[in-house]
A and B are shown apart, each in its own frame.
Chain A
């Protein structure tokens, strides 16, 4: 590892990325999202989450299909990034509960997700997320998550 500059505090990084929209800086600063290949992209003016396909995301190697855990992880990350980048929360929100519905098996290819904040209170936020591959109108998984927004 040839990191020369110390890692800035995540809150500073979040504030910076909200302005610069260099989302990669943020998703690379989190070991898990970097490992999973989960990133945020601006596609046609819309902020979407992308999980780049790699064989390590597979659960059933015979079909082959993405692991339920890979999809669940991606939906949760999409919700976290939506809260971090589209609201003014200062810290990484803590998940209270997450419910995932698996609608179709995930093929070995890139997966996209869009999170929608359905309610944001002072302490709690409700988020809905949908993930798809080829056809946005045919989601492969959806989730409903409840987050505790970090206390100041």
Chain B
């Protein structure tokens, strides 16, 4: 399974992980998610504002469900980066705290860090912001599990 190992260089890792934001993961692609940055165990993904994702037509605020997908996808990518390899994983649980309402018309950015990886389980935390990391929209914590091995 050595061909699933992520390259050492940042550009290579970004390119390899970007496959999860194309037709390979239909729901990420449908929502317009874009992997914008990667680090050792950290992924940054952007969700551009779109009218079809609005959850409250009176305020234009994006639906919580779209934010859930953004967080789930970013956390999963952080796990791959921590392990250094692409492998089948599943989300065990995800908790999201909404810290303030998101402003309509502005894209959302999620930064997720896989801060602990055991043999089978990965622990991830994430923040969602709209350009200012010190004023986040949501904070999240999740656990993921390797499907095999």
Interchain CA distance A21-B66 in the complex, whole Å: 27
Q: What is the 8 Å Cβ interface bit string for chain B, positions 6-45, against chain A (1 contact, 0 not)?
A: 0000000000000000011111111100000000000000
A7-B28 contact, Cβ under 8 Å, with A70-B69, A73-B63? no
Contacts of B73 in A (CB 8 A): 67, 69
Q: Tally chain B residues at the interface, Cβ within 8 Å.
A: 39
Could you mark each residue 93-115 of chain A with 1 if its beta carbon is under 8 Å from any beta carbon of chain B, else 0?
01111111110010000000000
Q: Is the CB of A31 within 8 A of B53?
A: yes
State which of A33, A60, A98 has its C-beta within 8 Å of the C-beta of B88: A60
**Distance in angstroms between the alpha carbons of A73 and B31 in the assembled complex:** 13
Q: A132 CA to B59 CA in the complex, in Å?
A: 31
Within 8 A of A (CB), among B58-82: 58, 62-66, 68-73
Compute how far the CA of A102 lies from the CA of B26 in the bound complex, rounded to whole angstroms.
19
Cα distance A75–B108 in the bound complex, in angstroms? 21
B contact residues around A34 at 8 Å (CB)? 52
Total interface residues on A, CB under 8 Å, equals 40
- B107 CB within 8 Å of chain A: no
Please give me the residue from chain B that is nearest to A148 by CB atom: B98
- A52 → chain B, closest Cβ, in Å? 14
Q: Judge whether A57 is part of the interface by a CB distance below 8 angstroms.
A: yes
Contacting pair A31 B28 (CB below 8 A): no
Decide yes or no whether B90 CB sits under 8 A from chain A: yes
B117 at interface, CB cutoff 8 A: no
Q: How far does the Cβ of A110 sit from chain B's closest Cβ, in whole Å?
A: 16
CB atoms of A31 and B52 under 8 A apart: yes
Q: Judge whether B56 is part of the interface by a CB distance below 8 angstroms.
A: yes
- Do A73 and B25 contact each other (CB < 8 Å), given the known contacts A30-B56, A30-B57? no
Which residues does chain B contribute within 8 Å of A9, judged by CB atoms? 58
From the candidates A60, A74, A92, name the one contacting B55 in the complex (CB within 8 A): A92
Interface on A for B, CB 8 Å cutoff?
Answer: 7, 9-10, 29-36, 55-62, 66-70, 72-74, 76-77, 92, 94-102, 105
- Residue pairs across A and B with Cβ atoms less than 8 A apart, 5 shown, are A32-B62, A59-B27, A72-B94, A92-B58, A99-B95
